[in-house]
Amino acid sequence: MARNIEKDRLEAERRRRQLIETGFRLFSEYGIENVTLQRVADEAGVGIATLYKYYLNKERLVIAISKSIWSGVWKRTLGALGTDGLGELTAYDGIALYADAIIMIYREHPQFLRFSGEYKNFIRTVKTEEKHLEEELREHLDELEPMRQLFHRMYERARTDHSIRMDIPEQELFATVTITMLSVAERYAQGLVWADDHREDHTQKLIYVKEMILAWCAG
């Protein structure tokens, strides 16, 4: 009996991962609004009833995908440093670490940024209509906690190392840095740049944005 329960749990986890990976691939390539759940099910090789068993609607699948992506990104980013590495960072270095992580994603996984841009537009629309999504959205925001904690530690460290400005409240500084860097990278990845070729490599432009952010943070 116990073995059957464990087998069912592993199978359910495999199905969820399969649907998340398929949904992510389709949504990032074609746009969330342009892909139906039936297409996700077909591409994943399951029936639509199976998809609904795990994700009752597109909103829940989209939130699950975003949660999966960013959880992995921040764990890898912070995990690569290790505890000792974080201890050696100045506040300025911590902000540079975040900016470099976004640039790395743009270069190596631009599909993450395409999906992220799509996600914001999609969820902004449904959030006003679906109050029941609030719990899922809160769980998704929990995945940002490692980066919030990093910024908090860097802000506290700045009280002694004075490497970034302290005249702006912590949350405002955090929001300005994260949203600016991520939003610009998303637009480049999506090709939403006026009078530009979306196939161009915009890495250098993102480096300029990073430098502007760091200069502003340094005061």
The tokens for 184 are 């610009």
User: 138: closest CA among 66, 31, 53, 54?
Assistant: 66
List the domains of the chain with CATH numbers. Answer: 1-55 (1.10.10.60), 63-218 (1.10.357.10)
Q: According to the model, what pLDDT value does residue 139 have? A: 63
| pLDDT on residue 190 | 87
Contacts of 116 (CB under 8 A, 6+ apart): 66, 69, 70, 182, 186
Main-chain phi, psi angles of 90, to 5 degrees: -80, 170
Q: Which of 95, 103, 65 is nearest to 214 (CA)?
A: 95
List all residues 6 or more positions away from 205 whose beta carbon is below 8 Å from its beta carbon: 184, 188
82: left (phi over 0), alpha (psi -120 to 50) or beta: left
With contact defined as beta carbons under 8 Å apart, do 47 and 56 qualify? no
d(CA 45, CA 53): 15
- Per-residue confidence (pLDDT) for residue 121, from 0 to 100: 84
Per-residue pLDDT of the chain (219 residues; tens, 9 = 90+): 456 888 888 888 999 999 999 999 999 999 999 999 999 999 999 999 999 999 989 999 999 999 888 888 887 777 766 645 566 789 999 899 899 999 999 999 999 999 999 988 888 877 655 656 666 666 666 666 777 888 888 899 999 999 999 999 999 999 999 999 999 999 999 887 654 555 678 999 999 999 999 999 998
The residue assigned the tokens 């390539």 is 29
Question: Structure tokens of 73?
Answer: 């990104």
Contact present, 32 and 119 (Cβ < 8 Å): yes
Give the pTM: 0.82
